[in-house]
Homo-oligomer: A and B are copies of this chain.
Amino acid sequence: MSSPVHRVSLGDTWSLRMNPDIESERRAPSFDVERLTNILDRGAQNTALRRKVESIIYSDPVFNLQSSHFMTHNEHYEAALHNRFHVQKLAQRLGWQEDGSEFNYANRALSGAVGLGLQSIFINTLKSLGSEEQIAKWGPLCKTFQIITTYAQTELGHGTYLRGLETEATYDPATQEFVIHSPTMTATKWWPGDLGRTATHALVLAQLICSGARQGMHGFIVPIRSLQDHSPLPGITTGDIGPKMGINHVDNGFLQLHHVRVPRENMLSRFAEVLPDGTYIRHGTAQSNYLGMLVTRVKLLLNGILPNLQKACVISLRYSVIRRQSQLRPSDPEAKILDHQTQQQKLFPQLAMSYALYFLAISLTEFFQQSYDAVLKKDFTLLPELHALSTAGKATISDFCTQGAEQCRRACGGHGYSKMSGLPTLVTEVTASCTYEGENTVLYLQVARFLAKNYLQAQLSPTKRKPLPQSVAYLAMPDRSRCPAQMAADFLLPELYVTAWAHVATRLIKDAAQHVQTLIQSGADQQEAWNQTTIIQVQAAKAHCYYIIVKAFKEAVEKLDREPAIQKVLKRLCDLCALHGILTNSGDFLHDGYLSGAQADMVRAAYLDLLRLIRKDAILLTDAFDFTDRCLNSALGCYDGNVYERLFHWAQKSPANTQKNPAYEKYIRPLLQSWRAKL
């Protein structure tokens, strides 16, 4: 099944030989890398299909990734549409199913530099908020690109706080139309992808007004560009919002609507509808129309956010066994930098996190699959937990992937600053995920509200309280006041560290609740008390998030009992993840004496030992992600380890070297000769 031909596929002459410094890392594997790849792909058949798609893409000369490091803003945009166009042609030729995995694999093969990504967000939202008739009408139009769609929610003046959105949709019973309008400059839709220069239709989120009453945010399908000549339709002002820190292949855009009329049928009406006479009927809760965003948050974890950290780990770890620096002993040659303890400290927690977050995302996705259909059928029982989990998952995965990718980049020293390392692109792409689809601090506060509510439930006597959602069941567990560990090895017991995290999360949630209570007792109202404790609330929510990471990882490892070798190596990563978190937040564990100083030292001893143990499997653990060289697009991170040759040869292709120096005649020569004038 193994297809190493994909891994070394850049066509460089030197890729025919492996750098011995990376070859030696693969010589005596302690586990079957291919099996781990299959696990990560969720089945050997998926690995095979993925490689088949990759091989089709890479054998088609129409696709070319390599020069992307030298592209301008415009060129990135054009290349992404080029790729999408050709993927679409491939898909037609090969008969790929619209919902099949092939599209995902093609995206992955092309490092995500594929245009029209908003199509899937439009479709997911349509499925979540649209009636069956609307899905039947708009779904096929969108999927076959008879229209090109975007999702227009965020405004110039409002992002995560959706109640503040200013765009209005006023129902006019005389014509049975909605009048969609941007009443202020800050109401301008701002940020939607594919909007700037591409989309023909926008799913516009706007405040519904019927019969003079404001009914909150609803979704409306609005044609914005002519299907004949692509010019903006009457009443539409639209364009690109300009260059960003990254993701410049996407044309994020702006949209102003000047009394634009759409028929009554264009309001998505699964959870609410407007009758011809303007009567408003709600079928769901006030929050139902946020469901589209919830779906998007869950879907982007595995394919959108996480690969950035995984790739950063691959690149930085491979580079770290090629790069050598200083001698560990005077007589030795310079050591691989990965043999330095400080380099392990930088990278192994990221590697552990890239696995931990993968298993968290899988467990979230599974929970989502269980509960989403019920919600669509208007059974909202699991919605609060689904909301809390997806919010926690998005915030925590985007935060750790961003921190981790930047950590990996910096661990590559100067070369990590070169675009050709591939790392700047990963970092600037993933950091956007901390803000898009909900700013993380706001999301942590939403998690905190869920925790505060359930904490109060847990305080009720067992007979009086509702059963707690499974993710917060620990709030009702009997709590130890001291960690029982007596030696470093005790901290390798998963039950022990999961319990430690549950304890800290519980204590901080309790601490936050007590602060609120104290403020209320001294005269503050509920909202004031909340506002004055948000820093503490966020801290509590983050501890809860770390708990669910560790718990999901622990449970995933336990399930691997038929793969003992893989289980062993992943358990080390799970241990490292838990202990690294304890060390980084040791104050939270020491504060109430749950850990003593001596126990904190044991954690450190266990942690240092784990670094040493993980060292020998590190490269294989990154190989298991099975990213192709083309997909990594990194001079530092190729499978064969020929780092310096690629850096040197790729640099030669930079326009700075292939084009004439624009400054020589204009500035350099006059400057060099100006002293003669002074003679």
Interface residues of A (CB under 8 A from B): 69-70, 72-74, 77-78, 81-82, 84-85, 88, 115, 144-148, 154, 156-161, 163-164, 185-186, 188, 190-191, 196-198, 200, 227, 230, 239-246, 251, 254, 323-326, 328-330, 334, 340-342, 345-346, 406, 410, 413-414, 416-420, 424, 427-428, 431-432, 434-436, 439, 441, 445, 525, 527-528, 531-536, 538, 583, 585-593, 597, 600, 604, 608, 644-645, 647-648, 650-657, 659, 661-664, 666-672, 674-675, 678
- Tell me the nearest residue of chain B to A89, going by C-beta: B674
Query: Please, could you name 13 A-B residue pairs with CB atoms under 8 Å apart, sorted by A?
Result: A78-B663, A146-B675, A159-B413, A161-B326, A164-B334, A185-B645, A197-B664, A230-B661, A241-B647, A245-B428, A330-B527, A341-B534, A587-B587
Which residues of chain B have C-beta atoms less than 8 A from A325's C-beta?
A: 158-161, 164
A672 touches B600 (CB 8 A): no
A240 touches B675 (CB 8 A): no
Which residues of chain B have C-beta atoms less than 8 A from A246's C-beta?
A: 417
Select which of B146, B324, B419, B538 is within 8 A of A242 by beta carbon.
B419
- Tell me the nearest residue of chain B to A147, going by C-beta: B672
Which residues of chain B have C-beta atoms less than 8 A from A675's C-beta?
A: 144-146
Q: How far is the CB of A348 from chain B (nearest CB, A)?
A: 11
Select which of B251, B591, B650 is within 8 A of A597 by beta carbon.
B591
Which residues of chain B have C-beta atoms less than 8 A from A147's C-beta?
A: 672
Which residues of chain B have C-beta atoms less than 8 A from A230's C-beta?
A: 661, 664, 668-669
Q: How many copies does the complex hold?
A: 2
> How many angstroms from the CA of A209 to the CA of B403 in the assembled complex?
44
Q: How far is the CB of A403 from chain B (nearest CB, A)?
A: 10
A417 touches B244 (CB 8 A): yes
B85 touches A670 (CB 8 A): yes
A161-B334, A197-B661, A672-B227 given; A85·B251 CB < 8 A: no
Which residues of chain B have C-beta atoms less than 8 A from A604's C-beta?
A: 536
Which residues of chain B have C-beta atoms less than 8 A from A434's C-beta?
A: 410
> How many angstroms from the CA of A628 to the CA of B340 in the assembled complex?
45
Which residues of chain B have C-beta atoms less than 8 A from A583's C-beta?
A: 587
Which residues of chain B have C-beta atoms less than 8 A from A535's C-beta?
A: 341-342, 345, 608
Select which of B82, B324, B340, B663 is within 8 A of A77 by beta carbon.
B663
- Tell me the nearest residue of chain B to A591, going by C-beta: B597
B85 touches A671 (CB 8 A): yes
Q: How far is the CB of A503 from chain B (nearest CB, A)?
A: 14
- Tell me the nearest residue of chain B to A323, going by C-beta: B157
B242 touches A650 (CB 8 A): yes
Which residues of chain B have C-beta atoms less than 8 A from A200's C-beta?
A: 672
